[in-house]
Amino acid sequence: MPQISNYTYDEITIGQTATYSKLIEARDIQLFAAVSGDVNPVHLDAAFAATTQFGGCIAHGMLSGAIISAAIAMELPGPGTIYLGQTLRFSLPVKPGDTLTVHLQVTEKKDKRRMVTLDCKVFNQHDKLVLSGIAEVMAPGEKLVLQRPALPLVRIEG
Amino acid sequence: MPQISNYTYDEITIGQTATYSKLIEARDIQLFAAVSGDVNPVHLDAAFAATTQFGGCIAHGMLSGAIISAAIAMELPGPGTIYLGQTLRFSLPVKPGDTLTVHLQVTEKKDKRRMVTLDCKVFNQHDKLVLSGIAEVMAPGEKLVLQRPALPLVRIEG
């Protein structure tokens, strides 16, 4: 059984890092449209998107934000983390076929409320920064080692 | 044919508002897990989630962030908007069956780069604030009236 575990507040150190990567496929853009309701033509209509400054369909900016939140929830601190706040600064568009890598680094700890601040940077496969920001979380108080749920199997039918 | 249109920078006024609502279903949580890779048990494992402070599965915080981005992209300013930045402050958990309503209000315009600042608040069906933040966007320079793409049809298979 694959497992997932976390870093507790006491285990976390200033400067600690983690990474998390994801290939962004055309289907991810369709899934993000379905889950958010954002069916903007620049994301879903290839003919229209080709006429824009982007020259083709681009991913929703907040899809890259979702990858940051996944990095925090899955890697550092991991399960049991409570998300308090996030800033996001969008720098470059993301296209289908891009591989995004989130770099997290712990920059601050505050014992009150077990608050941890993380610097978040998302790079594409050309090492260009596409998104940056700062996350504030309440780190887990207890060590958790849990069964890792399977990724839901999703089929796009149209 | 359903259409989608936007507000250009010149049409946008300080104080202008828009709303956008979405019912969050269990399937949205599964879709968000699939698209982000965040398969945290608190979102997907009902038996584990029942043992947490939340008493059951909760939605990913960034799913509510995705609803804000959809409100901006679909309603105000709408198509042609370039997302520059977003702050997010998570206040309350969201559970399957909750209906989220985003309230957007224009608070600032800067002619340079057609920059528009929007106050963003997300309430649940009990009028409780679940998420708040500030968005910075580059508003569209041109009026667009476009065919509205259909919501992708997605089936969850397991």
**pLDDT digits 0-9 by tens, A14-70:** 999 999 999 999 999 999 999 999 999 999 999 999 999 999 999 999 999 999 999
According to DSSP, the residues that pair with B3 across neighbouring strands are B147
How far off is chain B from A9, nearest CA to CA, in Å? 18
From chain A, pick out residues whose CB is under 8 angstroms from the CB of B66: 32, 35-36, 38, 60, 62, 65-66
Contact A154 B155 (CB under 8 A): yes
Which residue matches tokens 């991991």?
A78
pLDDT interval class at B64 (50, 70, 90): very high
Statement: residue B117 has pLDDT above 90: yes
Query: What are the residue ranges spanned by the domains of chain A?
Result: 3-145
Q: Is A84 left (phi over 0), alpha (psi -120 to 50) or beta?
A: alpha
Buried b (16+ CB within 10 A) or exposed e, B30-46: bbbbbbbbbbbbbbbbe
Interface of B with A in 65-104 (CB under 8 A): 65-70, 73-74, 79-80, 83-90
CA distances from A148 to A104, B23, B44 (A): 21, 27, 10
Task: Determine the pLDDT at residue B1.
Answer: 76
Overall fold of domain B3-145? Thiol Ester Dehydrase; Chain A (3.10.129)
pLDDT, tens only, B81-115? 999 999 999 999 999 999 999 999 999 999 999 99
Task: Dig out the tokens for A118 from the structure.
Answer: 């993380």
pLDDT, tens only, B69-80? 999 999 999 999
Nearest to B34 by CA among B42, B43, B23: B43
Enter the pTM of the model.
Answer: 0.97
The burial of B157, by beta-carbon neighbours within 10 Å (0-12 exposed, 13-18 middle, 19 or more buried), is given as: exposed
- The number of CA neighbours under 13 Å toward the Cβ of B81 is 31
Statement: residue A1 has pLDDT above 90: no
